Amino acid sequence: MERLCDEVLQLIFYELPDPSPLTLVSRRLYAFSQDPYVRARYFLTHYGPTEAMYYALGRGKVLTERVIDILLSSGAHLSRYLVQIAMHHYFQTQTHFIKTPKAQEKYGDIPRGKGEDDGSIFMTFLKESRFPSHLRSVTWENIMQILETYKDPITTQFPLILAIEPRLLPPAVENGFRMDYKYRDFVFRKMFERRAVTSDNEAEDIAHNVRELCKLDPIMFVTRTVAAEVCMEAKYNDAGYSALKRLDKSGSLRFELSHLVEDSLQTFLTTRAISHAATGETLRQLYSDFPSSDPAVRLVVIIVVFISAENNQTSVLDVHSALDALGVVPLTKNDIFNVLINPFVEKYATLLDYARKEVGVKEDGSKGMGPSQVRELVEELAVKCLEVGCKGKLLKKLFENFPSTHNAVMRQVLERHQLCIEDVPSWEEDPDTAANYVATLSRDFMRCGLGQNHIQDLYRGMGRGGEEEGEEGGNVEMEQDDAFSKQGLGEITQESLTTMIRHQEEHTPTRGRRRFLYGYPWLDASKVNYPHDAMPVAKWARAQFGLKSSVTSVFLTHAIINDNNQLLHLFLTNPDPHSPCRADNVPVTLKHFKILARLGRIPVRTLVCGVTALADIHLQSYYMYHNIEEGGAFYVDEDDYISKNDPAKRLVSKKPVKDGVTEGAENVRSYAVPDSDEDATMSDGTECKKVVKETNLQQWIRHLGDLLKDEQKKSNFLKSLTTNLRGLRKLELETRVKYFGAAEAMEERVEYDDDEYTLKPSKRRRVLA
């Protein structure tokens, strides 16, 4: 360090946030730090000329008149407001900077009273910005004088001032102000903000100010984000919305407003906001102003109309008038189906009444849908609702009011959705497919909403104009090009302009100079994609068909595959914790474990319980093994516990083939003990071996142990099974010790292929009660 030249030492000093400790290392470094030029260049290099004087004042002990001279002569910015702040802070006595005549020579007699500083003038200008011009005590010319004469654009509220008067930007830039893109949306939001008192030409004034600001700086332009927020206030911010349309008409926007509205409306097809009354009115207004041929946009406004009609008990005539005014009539059977299948439509009375009178043609040639057509539509709807996890309420109503849906639903579940082990992909043959496999029922809509699969195939007739397959590739390419062109113009949210302004104001610092913290934590504006207080379809199925129904068993299998912990808790735990009965749940079967083994996976999500030891317990495994530990009966598959009189089972003749498992639970639940001393004798003198029945826990251990032997590769399922099987064996031992004592329990232990359990069984066995 002592051998370094002064130039290298300067570079080292300039990079340090605080060089003070370094100056104590040696006499040479201390003497080097006393050089006024080194001190002045440190602030200029480390903080830049705009903020050099501000940070130098914060370290008043290192400032001298010579350091100040070098700072000012080297281009450090000094404004009158900075002098005023220093006066207020140091009370005009505690620093030589105030005592020197430099500031007075530069700016003359500086106002020092409370409320007379430039910052207070700026704040007054902001407060009076909504006043009529003749009532304002501070005009924009006063602010211009402060910028041009006293060299101070740098206040925490200056972006707000630009929103009011964009003509102030050029002199501010000359004084060192640099517009950051982080302020951009904030400034334009304030320009479009709704005023309490409006004038006839306010929309034109807003549009004019926006154009002027866009001309002054290339980074200043209205983004799609801000424009979408203005559109969401179309019903009650007429001035801002009108100004936006004027800017679009004059070509002052970098995008087509009609395309923005179309993209915005599409997002409401799968979000809860579509069911809000105020939002619905806004969407109808936007569609009226910017009609679209996009089928998804058309469906959005149709859904909005029918949700409003259902809530307000609107007549069919009035509904038709509203649809006609929007230009979306005539409706088809597919339109009715698409509205009813939407996750946020839970009532159907008005919609079916409209279909009976206005949709299609009856058998006799009159307008509307006949009884058979309505029945067919309802059956198709009920079947499709099975795959939309949050449609339990609608499905329940359809089941109660349309008896024809009963057989349709049961047949659909067992014929299409019932899974054999071979139906799921093997992780050994196709790891990617197995890892991404999702069952069609019992999806966790609270975690993943509709999912991409639903968005693609949920709605009928949603193609773009009925193009042929050969034309679809071109459309996809056009959409990709369109998406590329929108990059840099901002993302679309469903938030309103007022909401975002309030959010930003809450995160804007009220104190601190030269700190431009107008960036804000990203507000996740996407609405939830399931209805309020939704009923899962699987929950409805459990209540409708019972615990030991073939239909319920299918929903449980799909819930296990999809790791739907909400349903696993419902299906595999006793809803009444005070009930002495442990059988109030849907049975877990060996088939479930074999399906997971074939998929080679256990859930990714872990149990969050605040206990480190349980951090790696997977919820799916937890519920399944907990069911066994609580005394759950052993079943090979659902056929072992479902009665032959089950309505759904009788309806469907096709029966799944078991995966190499002996038919009948009775064949696997008992065994003969070889070489037993307690051989039984029949009445005719014939000797036979005494058959002793295994407990449920012992059967689970035996069959899961066999499954463990069959697994050759180290899959996630194998790791989980190894750990949990060891726990079941330990529990079985503890149970025997509890009933028979340690000595006999150790004698009678079953031999397992595990180093921890190597004792062989004795010739005598006891049977647990």
Q: Nearest to residue 36, comparing CAs of 65, 57, 78?
A: 65
| Count of other CB atoms within 10 angstroms of residue 689 | 14
Q: What is the pLDDT at residue 108?
A: 65
Are 290 and 518 spatial neighbours (Cβ–Cβ below 8 Å)? Answer: no
Residues of the chain with confidence (pLDDT) below 70: 1-2, 88-109, 112-115, 130, 133, 150-157, 176, 178-181, 197-198, 448-457, 463-487, 505-526, 574-583, 602-621, 653-692, 711-715, 743-769
Looking at residue 537, its pLDDT comes to 95
What's at 509, amino acid-wise?
A: P
Residues contacting residue 358 through CB under 8 Å, at least 6 positions apart: 316, 320, 329, 330, 331, 367, 368
What pLDDT is recorded for position 762?
Answer: 46
With beta carbons less than 8 A apart as the criterion, state whether 382 and 518 touch: no
Q: Could you tell me which of 341, 319, 343, 346 has the C-alpha nearest to residue 331?
A: 319
Alpha carbon distances (Å) from 96 to 34, 92, 117: 17, 9, 21
- Give ∠ CA 271-273-274 in degrees, rounded to 5: 85
Q: What distance separates the 2 farthest-apart alpha carbons in the chain?
A: 130
Verdict on whether the full-model pTM lies above 0.75: no
Task: State the pLDDT at residue 11.
Answer: 79
The residue behind tokens 């102003």 is 289
pLDDT digits (tens, 9 = 90+) for 472-493: 444 544 454 455 445 578 889 8
Predicted pLDDT at 513: 39
The b-or-e profile of 518-530 (16+ CB within 10 A means b, else e) is bebeeeebebebb
Distance CA 173, CA 708 (A): 73
The dihedral over CA atoms of 728, 732, 733, 738, expressed in degrees to the nearest 10, equals 140
- Residue 407 has phi, psi (to 5 degrees) of -65, -35
Residue 589, number of CB atoms within 10 A of its CB: 23
Q: What does the CA dihedral 11, 15, 19, 24 come to, rounded to 10 degrees?
A: -50
Amino acid letter, 533? D
Residue with tokens 């005590």: 137
Q: 3-state DSSP: the chain helix, strand, coil percent, rounded to 5? A: 55, 0, 40
CA separation for the pair 647, 656 (Å, rounded): 17
Residues pairing with 691 in the sheet: 672
- Classify the phi-psi angles of 151: left when phi > 0, otherwise alpha if psi is within -120 to 50, otherwise beta: left
CA quadruple 315, 321, 327, 333: dihedral sign: positive
- Predicted pLDDT at 626: 86
- The pair of structure tokens assigned to 45 is 């290099």
> Which of 233, 156, 151 lies closest to 195, judged by CA?
233
CB 513 within 8 A of CB 50: no
**Helices and strands in the chain, H and E counts:** 39, 4
Centre a 10 Å sphere on the Cβ of residue 255 and count the other Cβ atoms it contains.
Answer: 18
The residue type found at 496 is: S
Q: Tell me what pLDDT residue 629 has.
A: 86
Q: Is the peptide bond before 536 cis (omega within 30 degrees of 0)?
A: no
Going by their DSSP bridges, the two strands 691-693 and 687-688 should be labelled as unpaired
Closest CA to 191 of 527, 501, 544: 501
Transcribe 478-515 into DSSP letters: HHHHHHHHTTTS----S--HHHHHHHHHHTS-SS-SS-
How confident is the model at residue 594, as a pLDDT? Answer: 92
Per-residue confidence (pLDDT) for residue 155, from 0 to 100: 56
Taking the CA of residue 112 as centre, how many other CA atoms within 13 Å lie in the half-sphere pointing to its CB? 14
